[in-house]
Amino acid sequence: MEILTIATQAFSDQRPGTSGLRKKVSVFQAPHYLENFVQSIYDTRTDLAGGTLVLGGDGRYYNRQAVQIIIRMAAANGVARIIVGQGGLLSTPAASGIIRKHGTNGGIILSASHNPGGPDGDFGIKFNTPNGGPAPEGVTEAIFARTREITEYRTLASKDIDLDTIATLSLGNTRVEVIDPVADYAALMEQLFDFKRIHRLFDSGLFRMHFDAMHAITGPYARRILEEMLGAEPGTVINGIPSEDFGGGHPDPNLVHAHEVVALTSGRNAVDFAAASDGDGDRNMILGRDFFVTPSDSLAVMAANAHHIKGYSGGINGVARSMPTSQAVDRVAEALGIDCFETPTGWKFFGNLLDAKRITLCGEESFGTGSDHVREKDGLWAVLFWLNLLAVRKQSVKEIVQEHWRRFGRNFYTRYDYEGIDTEAANGLMAHLQARLPDLPEATLDGYTVDYADNFAYTDPVDGSVSKNQGIRIGFTDGSRIVYRLSGTGTAGATLRVYLEAFEPDREKQDQETAAVMQPLVEIATDMAEIETRTGRKQPTVIT
């Protein structure tokens, strides 16, 4: 087959963010845009020539076309073997697991995670390194630098390959293996969790649940594992067929966007347990009957109960959380006598800690939890962890969490998202806060005394790398916190996230409504940042 060398011009906007390169579909469809970025991966990751590449995505609009482009370019650049999910599909955690299981030279994952899909929606691409995790900054910066100077890319003059049939094919000198996207992942979950015990929970007839796949990638995974392997009733998985536009919805598993499954946890016929996952399968939301488990609490409960779970019964090495995530897991780590690390937002920052066996469990407040089984957060894994825990403890979700609060105290927590605001205004707001930091320690704000105020910087304890300007923290002497960050996961304008946390050790006060507890901090946070004045927003887009 003929290798074509195509002349191109560099684009200036291909710097990957915290989760790869994300843009509108129309941007990726522009001539040479996707090809330039993919060629920059092949040019900088020279071990892919003669090596093995894992490839797949969440099935959103343009996924199939992009997979074909990447395969042809891989063959033209000398990749010896490509492992691709049937239909071009792989959940992000499944892709990470396949990279690790098969010892490949890395993987290309196509996803914009929880962002909307469809012709007018978002698309994304990222490279995962041989450990299965998102590329660290050194790798992404090298790829970005190459995109700024690229003048040509290579591809094959060939037809599309059959992605829908499990088979091994040849494309020039490259072997393309189209695999069952679920099989390896399901086998890994069976190693970690007590499937027989969970099966008995469903067989009892006393336990009901629903899992909302949100018309996204986890549908096939959840149906195979929950309904076929674990014996949950047919129909337990709702919205389980992946759709290019996620059924016209927003595949973000929170109380707003996953309202359908949230509604199933209330009323006379409420289920005992419910959960949801996002576009690419790496996020999760956990619900009990009339009860929402914050992602921060979920991580803390997992750490405190890991000894009940087969794959973690020997103990955990340590835990880590992103800086904006509540400090609930810190208290568990202290009680267990294990390390707890505070990292910047972005799953890649957990990779070195996991590889060095400094931690076993990790999580982010943005509905992501995971462990050392892969190097990505893992939505369905979290659901299975909770199912296993419910089967062992024979308590409700609410009882387990409230018992946890009584032992460790409760970290009330909420997040305000202001999406799609003017980028210049957002940067001005952050600069305003930065200028105020030196005067804040020991100041009193509406009865709260400031303990510290800084722009979070992280020094990796494994390789010594330093990441600065990771978000503004304002901590108070009573354990409360306010955190401000500009998110790197959007594709239009800027997203300001404001995180609020209040610690309550008094058991008699732990059942208050979160909104009421947080209101004083909300007022401090919005006034201090001058949010309405600077952004024009009186209310956040989403509150979680």
The whole-angstrom separation of Cα 18 and Cα 464 is: 19
Contact between 301 and 293 under an 8 Å Cβ cutoff? The reply is yes
DSSP string, 156-169: E--PPP--SS-EEE
Unique residue bearing structure tokens 């979070």: 456
DSSP string, 420-488: EE-HHHHHHHHHHHHHHGGG-TT-EETTEEEEEEEE--EE-TTT--EE----EEEEETTS-EEEEEE-S
The whole-angstrom separation of Cα 122 and Cα 226 is: 29
- Give exposure, 361-371, as e/b (b: 16+ Cβ within 10 Å): bbbbbbbbbbb
CA 287 vs CA 229, 258, 276, 502, 515: distances in Å: 22, 11, 9, 21, 18
Residue 62 phi, psi (nearest 5): 85, 0
Sheet holding 174-179, edge to edge: 21-24, 122-128, 107-110, 52-57, 81-89, 174-179, 167-171
Q: Which of 131, 231, 129, 116 is nearest to 491 (CA)?
A: 116
The whole-angstrom separation of Cα 278 and Cα 275 is: 11
The whole-angstrom separation of Cα 141 and Cα 144 is: 5
Please count the residues of the chain.
544
The whole-angstrom separation of Cα 26 and Cα 439 is: 46
The whole-angstrom separation of Cα 417 and Cα 424 is: 17
| Tokens encoding 480 | 């409360």
Catalytic, out of 19, 40, 111, 113: 113
Query: Which helix (H) or strand (E) covers residue 361, if one does?
Result: strand 361-364
The whole-angstrom separation of Cα 506 and Cα 414 is: 19
Q: Which of 221, 278, 220, 223 is nearest to 249 (CA)?
A: 278
CA 408 to chain CA centroid, nearest Å? 26
Query: Which helix (H) or strand (E) covers residue 35, if one does?
Result: helix 33-44
Q: Which residues pair with residue 212 across a beta bridge?
A: 238, 276
- Residue 175 CB neighbours (<10 A): 16
113 is catalytic: yes
Catalytic residues: 113
